[in-house]
Amino acid sequence: MKHLLYILLFSSQCVLAQLKTYSFEELSSLKKEKPIVVFLHANWCKYCNVMKNTTFKQDKIIETLNNEFYFVSFNGEQKEPVTFQNHTFKYKSTGKKTGVHELTEALGTYNSKVSYPTTVILNTNKEIIFQHPYLLKPKEFLKVLNAVKKKL
């Protein structure tokens, strides 16, 4: 019985923070105004997976995103239409088995192309205030979040 009590106490203290994610559709129904962090990724992208498994697993980043921002993780090649800002964005085929979502193009085009991963931050007016193609390591990402918080 004593061992079970220790296990229960230990396991309750080891609960990891969970990153709260939203869909674009959910954003329109949220009452509180916060900047939006959009993580554009693709299933095949190894750098996207690195960010998912390192940057977005850091407790300080999770805490900052959950408290100060809305976070959207968006597969740039998803086929389902998405309505955001009263506009419906759709998937565009670019080949036999390839394509890109129009919303990815709208948010993630940088120097005339879309790269994965791309991190985009929108202000409370849904305007792009930060856009970074390529991987952001945890320390870099936290610096960006803190800089955005100071500006707003």
Average pLDDT of span 88-111: 93
- Higher local confidence (pLDDT), 149 or 117: 117
Checking DSSP bridges between strand 70-75 and strand 36-41, what pairing results, if any?
parallel
Report how far residue 102's alpha carbon sits from residue 64's, in angstroms, rounded to the nearest whole number: 29
How sure is the predictor about 8, in pLDDT bands with cuts at 50, 70 and 90?
very low
Q: Is the pLDDT of residue 63 over 90?
A: yes
12 pLDDT higher than 80 = no
How many Cα neighbours within 13 Å face the side chain of 25? 6
> Tokens 């890109």 — which residue?
100
Residue 19 pLDDT > 50: yes
Which domains, ranges and CATH numbers included, belong to the chain? 17-151 (3.40.30.10)
